[in-house]
Amino acid sequence: MRRLILLFVLGTATACVGAKPAVKAPKVVQVPFDPPVAQEPESFVGELPGASAILITNATLLTARDAQPRINGGWIRLDAGRITGLGDGTPPPANGARVVDAAGRFVTPGFIDTHSHLGVYPTPHVWAHGDGNEMTNPITAGVRAEEAFWPQDPGIQRAVAGGVTTIQVLPGSGNLMGGRGVVLKLHPRRSARAMRFPGAKDSLKMACGENPKRVYGKHRRSMPMSRMGNIFMMRKTWVKARRYKHDWDTWRANPEKLEKGAIVKVKPPKRDLVMETLARVLDGEILVHIHCYRADEMLLQLKLAQEFGFRVRSFHHAVEAYKIRDVLAREGVAVSTWADWWGFKIEAYDAIEQNLALLAESSARAVLHTDSAEGIQRMNQEAAKAYWAGQHAGLKLNEHQALKWITMNPAWALGIEDQTGSLAEGKMADVVVWDRNPMSVYASADLVFVDGHLRHDRQGDGATWSDFEVGQ
């Protein structure tokens, strides 16, 4: 058998002697730069049917729009997932729409939480469900919260019952660069990808301060052990990301070259999923959200952003933001923070209850977030607490500004303000009907619409979304 093979090879070689060899371009596999993840077929996740038309009448509309923040005796129409009209006085004919008489009740945009770990740290809170931190390396920018999200987290339905219609799900803060966050609409779906907010950009979750140095320095005796190490590793990583982006930009500009009189394809740079995420940040295609408590560290992060040419979209937690509120307002950076969390670690000690109010007074973009499966159920009360703290301190505030902390401002922080966050014609029909002024501690959400679909009815049967709780 060996002899036959050898004769065949020799015969083939002999037949080619004297023949002019063909010039072939090198075989190159063209790998696209961070291709979009394909949408699962509807057969995987189930089709979302069209929403029925709804006409809500006789309500007080709190629009979260500066031009017309409040409409007394108002009406609003939802049709095919959009707000198709709103105003005061006599409503238009129903034309087949279901009519909801909201006399004595209030209507607001759906609430938006910029900092949630629902689905990645779901209920029940056990180790087997804890998928929000990939704490095996300080730099894990390539991992995606979307791919750890559990759509059957019972906390999702409870958030909707509190008037929440959109969330940003983030990785945790154990790493300097923890991974990508994702913006989700709170529909009961079978897949996180089916819940994605259409057209919303992903985010990069970063963290500074105590958490990364505790995880790696204190417990593992590895870098980063200090705030010096935090910044060093971030800067070193951004240097590498800028070089990676340069290599890809160069290849895109010249994917072919002339070689020995023939045009051949140039092999693209080797893909690196961590660097890919950071290169997209540098291109402005991924928004930066940074866990950062202290004012001095926020200034350091802004310095890094200027050094490497990216923008910080929002600082999270940011309990000392009031100390640099003029800088944050000038730089156009949102602050996503709590109403009154403080003191659970040293970097949280200088928190004050007037943080949000002082930011709003200084024209900085104030956002109330929850970072909590429990707090997300009462965002209206959290906003009211922060509002009244400012009022009692003598700051000039109104309820419209407080409502924007949980509607229009977080929409901006997530880059979706043109689609949701206020009651305006053409926007998504993310709408909540409250039994009284939502700034009241006694207020409850009667009806919650997400894209025009009724997802919560306080008087309804209360059927659970999560199979996990059925029979428990």
Assigned domain for 275 exists: yes
The pLDDT of residue 45 is 61
Assigned domain for 60 exists: no
Q: Which of 133, 147, 169, 106 is nearest to 376 (CA)?
A: 169
Cβ(429)–Cβ(51) under 8 Å? yes
Q: Where are the beta strands (DSSP E) in 223-317?
A: 256-259, 262-265, 287-292, 312-317
The pLDDT of residue 242 is 98
For the chain, the first-to-last Cα distance in angstroms comes to 68
CB neighbour class for 197 (10 Å; exposed up to 12, middle 13-18, buried from 19): buried
Assigned domain for 438 exists: no
Q: Which of 275, 315, 287 is nearest to 204 (CA)?
A: 287
Assigned domain for 381 exists: yes
Assigned domain for 407 exists: yes
Alpha carbons 135 and 292: distance in angstroms, whole number? 18
Q: Could you read off the pLDDT tens digit of each residue along the chain, which spans 472 residues?
A: 444 443 333 344 334 434 444 444 444 334 445 555 555 555 566 678 889 999 999 999 999 999 999 999 999 999 999 999 999 999 999 999 999 999 999 999 999 999 999 999 999 999 999 999 999 999 999 999 999 999 999 999 999 999 999 999 999 999 999 999 999 999 999 999 999 999 999 999 999 999 999 999 999 999 999 999 999 999 999 999 999 999 999 999 999 988 888 999 999 999 999 999 999 999 999 999 999 999 999 999 999 999 999 999 999 999 999 999 999 999 999 999 999 999 999 999 999 999 999 999 999 999 999 999 999 999 999 999 999 999 999 999 999 999 999 999 999 999 999 999 999 999 999 999 999 999 999 999 999 999 999 999 999 977 899 988 887 6
Which SS3 state, helix, strand or coil, does residue 292 take? Answer: strand
* Pair type for strands 365-368 and 334-337: parallel
Other CB atoms within 10 Å distance of the CB of residue 49: 7
* Adjacency order of strands within the sheet including 111-116: 111-116, 164-169, 177-185, 203-207, 287-292, 312-317, 334-337, 365-368
Q: Which of 380, 364, 371 is nearest to 295 (CA)?
A: 364
Other CB atoms within 10 Å distance of the CB of residue 257: 10
The pLDDT of residue 19 is 43
CATH number at 175 reads 3.20.20.140
Q: How far is CA 249 from CA 36, 244, 246, 280, 451, in A?
A: 18, 9, 5, 12, 39
Domain that holds residue 161: 110-418
The pLDDT of residue 462 is 78
Assigned domain for 433 exists: no
The pLDDT of residue 51 is 92
Assigned domain for 31 exists: no
The pLDDT of residue 46 is 65
Domain count along the chain = 1
pTM: 0.90
The pLDDT of residue 50 is 85
Q: How far is CA 224 from CA 141, 216, 293, 315, 390, in A?
A: 16, 6, 18, 21, 38
Length of the chain, please? Answer: 472
The pLDDT of residue 21 is 43
Assigned domain for 128 exists: yes
Other CB atoms within 10 Å distance of the CB of residue 180: 24
